[in-house]
Structure 1
Amino acid sequence: MDILKTEAFLRLCATLVFVLAACLDRFDNQTKFIIFFERKITFKDLKALQALAYAAFGAAGYNLLQLSRCIFFISCFHGNLSKRSYRYLAWVCYLLDQVVVYLTFATNSAAIEQSMLVVTGMKEFQWTKWCNKYTRFCFQIGGAIFCCYVACCLMAFTTFVSAFNLFRLYSPKKFLRVKNT
């Protein structure tokens, strides 16, 4: 029962941090007047930031669904589920948790890689440094990437709890063939 409450708390924290990261990324924009024209930069200018926003919103939605499952089990069953009926659900939760962690980590890593090109620039491709001109935009994107990494760590801990919930359903005596002599 306590492990289910721990899982619910971790999922709630991960959901809140994913929503924060997605909102920081999605609603970030900055407008500057450069020489003779006005230039507005948004998260849509970098494809990896778009993917980061969508992945973070998706991960937050997934965690919200799993949080509702935890609350339902806590309130209705009081931790008394049969092992047989819960085993398939535990496998699905564990595998989906793994997918969400790897997906969000991958999109966050791609966003940080593309953001580093924005910070440093690349003369070979004639890419200029954006962060010299759009400092607020870059700091806010940096905060979104940091929040997403924190949420990935929270999801990794949630995956540990999910793995514990799964593998506690299997008896070690079933798999160890000990001969009684």
Structure 2
Amino acid sequence: MLTIRLATAQDHDALWSIIQPVIQTGDTYMYAPDTPREAMLATWLADTKHTYVAETDEQVVGTFFLCANQPGLGAHVANAGYMVHPDQRGKGIARQLCLFSLDEARRLGFQALQFNAVVSTNTVAVRLWEQCGFSRVGTVPKAFRHQALGLVDTYVMYQWLGA
């Protein structure tokens, strides 16, 4: 059973155990693979974000954040980022995080959720986001410097959440 809750200061070690191996591969996130722990945690847990962790058996296995995609007149559209511990992939955790985040975004007053840069070669994520109701609304050519494949496209993906 997966429990999702707001992240706390006590979660820093668990968050880093997820974030570090995910960004280190350089194939799914814009963050530099060698981003230092404190800088990455400050980014993931910024005051402008609502950051969550997912637990099974009292072990943090995933995380996500929600925030306004743009300030002011664009603040009704949320942005989010999701990470699952590499040892926990393939168990449906990312899907549960996404579905929870859609409800949470509505609860927080957001009317849409937009992913600004889904790496096109991350086909598992692209397929999952589409299954969760997101549409590809744009392609940004060669916007991601993939560590193994070189320059690849990113997708802008979007879902209207309602009035």
TM-score tier after normalising by the smaller chain length: under 0.3
What is the TM-score of this pair, normalised by structure 2? 0.27
Greater percentage in strand: 2
Greater percentage in helix: 1
Mark the structure with the bigger radius of gyration.
1
What is the TM-score of this pair, normalised by structure 1? 0.25
